[in-house]
């Protein structure tokens, strides 16, 4: 399954994105869930509020169960890099865990250049990453709608940036929410590896397509990665599966 088939991606590697499925994957990956089956009865996952926070809340409501088995992980053995114009993505070894570094740069006074890096752990994902929302520019809305894209986008699920202000009444959730959402997207996209990664991923002016290209390049090079099994996890560690317990279902978004 390609990233295009799995997620709705609007825009190029440097443009605004409206996306959904990777938020679900990011929530699972960020909370350490590596044993789950995701079933969707519509064309795509609901965008909710444009972040992974509603999915985190749903997972927390269901609860997690630690498995009595060592975690199977993908260990990055050497750097793998993909460049597209002035954008590039690179994944390199990091035996201590999974880390994401992101840098964005937009010719807009409200965004400009933002850089952020984080070691991805359940507590930091909940506190620092999950609530970062997808964003877009008001100047692009008409052309996207005319092309049949972003039809469900609204101020309830997207940070909308005009020429001189943020249109959302509540403003941004973080001063650097834009780059934090890029980190959120990368976590979700790299979850397509199929197992937790031991490595550091760096994205510079990247997006979904570049994230997917780096992951494909890593998987295609058998000398760049290997399977490893971690030690028996402590209860606070996150080798977990979702507990099967009835919870309220989310209704699909209204366009």
How would you class 40 by CB atoms within 10 Å of its CB: exposed for 0-12, middle for 13-18, buried for 19 or more?
exposed
Maximal CA-CA distance, the chain = 54
Kindly state the tokens that stand for 42.
């519509």
Phi-psi region of 97 (alpha: psi -120 to 50; beta: other; left: phi over 0): left
Half-sphere exposure of 51 (CA within 13 A, CB side): 26
Burial class from Cβ neighbours inside 10 Å (0-12, 13-18, 19+) for residue 86 reads exposed
Active site residues: 208
Q: Determine the Cα–Cα distance for residues 170 and 164; give it in Å rounded to an integer.
A: 16
**Spatial separation of the C-alpha atoms in residues 83 and 30, rounded to whole Å:** 26
């Amino acid at each position: 399954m390609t990233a295009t088939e799995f997620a709705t991606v609007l825009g190029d590697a440097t443009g605004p994105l409206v996306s959904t499925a990777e938020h679900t994957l990011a929530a699972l990956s960020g909370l350490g869930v590596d044993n789950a089956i995701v079933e969707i009865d519509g064309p795509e996952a609901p965008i909710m509020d444009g972040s992974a926070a509603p999915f985190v809340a749903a997972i927390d409501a269901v609860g997690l169960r630690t498995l009595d088995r060592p975690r199977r992980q993908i260990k990055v053995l050497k750097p793998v890099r993909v460049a597209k114009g002035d954008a590039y993505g690179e994944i390199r070894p990091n035996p201590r865990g999974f880390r994401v570094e992101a840098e964005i740069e937009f010719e807009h006074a409200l965004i400009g250049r933002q850089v952020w890096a984080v070691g991805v752990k359940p507590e930091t994902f909940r506190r620092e990453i999950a609530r970062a929302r997808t964003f877009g520019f008001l100047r692009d809305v008409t052309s996207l709608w005319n092309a049949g894209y972003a039809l469900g986008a609204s101020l309830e699920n997207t940070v909308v940036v005009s020429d001189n202000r943020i249109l959302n009444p509540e403003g941004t959730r973080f001063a650097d929410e834009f780059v934090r959402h890029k980190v959120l997207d990368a976590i979700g996209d790299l979850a397509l590896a199929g197992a937790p990664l031991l490595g550091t991923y760096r994205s510079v002016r990247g997006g979904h397509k570049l994230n997917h290209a780096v992951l494909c390049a890593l998987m295609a090079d058998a000398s760049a990665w290997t399977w490893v099994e971690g030690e028996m996890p402590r209860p606070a560690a996150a080798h977990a599966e979702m507990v099967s317990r009835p919870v309220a279902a989310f209704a699909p978004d209204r366009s």
